[in-house]
Amino acid sequence: MLNKGYIIKIIINCSGLFFLFLFWELFVENFLIPKPSEIIITFFKLLSFEETWKNILISGIRVYTSITIALILGTIIGSLRYFKKEIYFLINPLFYPTQYIASAVWTIIGIVLFGLSPITPYFVIIIVILPNIFVSVQIGLNNINKTFIEYGKSHTQNKWRLYKYIIFPQILPHLLIGLIRSNAVAWKIVVTAELFISINGLGFMINNYYKMLDIQKLFATVLIIILIGLIFDQIFKHLKIKIEERYII
């Protein structure tokens, strides 16, 4: 249930944004920049179109399928350090430098590799998020409580069972932090990738409205992206808190 303190906290958090919008509404007069009230009206109008929901669904599928694949791949590759150190040392140098390559560059590389195909947005999101997940796993492994491993070793030397019951649960909270970071990054990337290559999705909508110079709809689409990102961000944060509660004795 929402308590009084929580509501006050939300009001304080939103007040800065409220005053910014108020200033924008009252004092910004530019034919290119629509007023917040106009954007909100357009936002609800856009939501009444079936096509908008289709595009939200398409972008959402791209984002969360890619995040899932990146999570699985990143966890497997990151965990190699525990299972096979030799392979880990071989892979490790490949991951850290990729973090410095911008998503737009990866989009171009994706187009070169896969052409203007539906695979490209998936490729770009996965390749950009993968180092995030990989690093989260490494932080998790660095912070493993060794006394728990000792306990496990007093019962079994089987590496997989030690990983499943003792190591992975300790990586999980770090993995969730990686997931929250990846959620924000993935929404940025999917729009970038869709701007370049797609014939559907929220990025395509933005590109389309830009070409038609329909700035109100363009801003309203940005608002949709922000809201979806925030909703999932809150879901993951809630999940993280629920899981972290179990780690406190």
Q: How far is the CB of 91 from other proteins (least distance, A)?
A: 28
Q: Which of 1, 12, 17, 249 binds other proteins (CB under 8 A)?
A: 249
Q: How far is the CB of 156 from other proteins (least distance, A)?
A: 5
State the first-to-last Cα distance of the chain, in angstroms, to the nearest integer. Answer: 24
Q: How far is the CB of 161 from other proteins (least distance, A)?
A: 6
Asked if residues 73 and 130 have their Cβ atoms less than 8 Å apart, the reply is yes
Closer by beta carbon to other proteins, 124 or else 166? 166
Q: Which of 60, 118, 169, 229 binds other proteins (CB under 8 A)?
A: 169
Site string for other proteins, 134-163 (x = CB under 8 A): -------------xx-xxxxxxxxx--xx-
Q: How far is the CB of 229 from other proteins (least distance, A)?
A: 28
Closer by beta carbon to other proteins, 169 or else 229? 169
Closer by beta carbon to other proteins, 141 or else 243? 243
Query: Residue 39 interacts with other proteins (CB under 8 A)?
Result: no
The binding site for other proteins (CB under 8 A) comprises 147-148, 150-158, 161-162, 165-166, 169, 172, 243, 246-249
